[in-house]
């Protein structure tokens, strides 16, 4: 399988990590290569659709894609200004995927020397290229502090790609506790006291007469409001 998913149940935000190994960039006109890349993108999209949307989602691995410098101005904030390549077909697929799912290509947002950005060197041209990426859903952009290559760290595992490290620190907003609203409890036992009931009726009747006499110009709603307030004060 080219895609492996792990979900870490940590607090306060679970993290879903998706490791990928994409097919190589298809040569022009090679139908099989194009179909293989398209199928990989469909499987990756299906994987994203199954993840929890509230998680911090990190997609990392060898995408065999080159993201273009020019995409920093045309990809809607998905690509930063520190890309080092010219876009190829897999690069276009990668950016389209990020735009559709609201991800960012974190490698391209941090300024480093080319040797600390390129993850693979072409054996013929000896030119460094950025083929490995760390993608993060956009709402966690501020949690990514740095992404860079560490040369020589993978010398003993038989790969021609350099190690790519992402430094993450979650920034979470404190939730304000909602103020509890206490309900006024009435002493219903007083309703059985005839003396209190009689005194309340007399006082309420006097208040009602005062309202009718002093507020002849008030509307019906105004008189009702005054009546309710007088009852509450008792």
In a domain, residue 177? The reply is no
**Structure-model confidence comparison of residues 54 and 198, the more confident one:** 54
- Between 37 and 219, the higher pLDDT residue: 37
pLDDT at 197: 76
User: Does the pLDDT value for residue 49 go beyond 80?
Assistant: yes
Is 182 inside any structural domain? no
Tens-digit pLDDT profile for residues 144-191: 999 999 887 665 667 888 889 999 987 665 556 666 666 667 677 776
- d(Cα 121, Cα 113) in Å, to the nearest integer? 14
162 shares its domain with 59? yes
User: What's the whole-model pTM score?
Assistant: 0.69
Tally the domains of the chain: 2
Residues 8 and 114 in one domain: yes
Specify the pLDDT at position 74.
81
Clarify whether residues 116 and 195 are in a common domain: no
Q: Is residue 71 part of a domain?
A: yes
Question: Residue 42 belongs to a domain with what CATH number?
Answer: 3.60.10.10
- 117 and 203 in a single domain? The answer is no
Q: Are residues 159 and 199 in the same domain?
A: no
Task: Determine the pLDDT at residue 225.
Answer: 76
Closest by CA position to 10, among listed 63, 54, 42, 75: 54
| Domain membership of residue 200 as a residue range | 188-233
């Amino acid at each position: 399988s080219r895609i492996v998913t792990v979900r870490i149940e940590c607090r306060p935000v679970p993290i879903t990590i998706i490791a990928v190994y994409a097919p190589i960039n298809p040569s022009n006109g090679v139908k099989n290569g194009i179909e293989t890349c398209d199928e990989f993108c469909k499987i990756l999209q299906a994987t994203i659709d199954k993840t929890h949307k509230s998680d911090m989602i990190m997609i990392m691995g060898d995408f065999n894609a080159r993201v273009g410098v020019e995409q920093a101005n045309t990809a809607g904030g998905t690509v930063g200004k520190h890309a080092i390549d010219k876009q190829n077909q897999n690069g276009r697929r990668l950016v389209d995927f990020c735009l559709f799912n609201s991800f960012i290509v974190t490698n391209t947002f941090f300024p480093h020397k080319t040797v600390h950005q390129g993850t693979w060197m072409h054996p013929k041209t000896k030119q460094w290229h950025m083929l490995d990426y760390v993608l993060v859903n956009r709402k966690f952009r501020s949690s990514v502090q740095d992404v860079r290559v560490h040369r020589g760290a993978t010398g003993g595992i038989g790969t021609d790609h350099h190690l790519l490290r992402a430094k993450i620190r979650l920034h979470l907003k404190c939730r304000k506790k909602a103020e509890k609203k206490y309900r006024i409890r009435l002493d219903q036992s007083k309703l059985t006291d005839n003396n209190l009931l009689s005194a309340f009726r007399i006082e309420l009747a006097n208040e009602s007469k005062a309202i009718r006499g002093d507020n002849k110009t008030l509307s019906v709603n105004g008189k009702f409001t005054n009546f309710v307030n007088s009852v509450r004060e008792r």
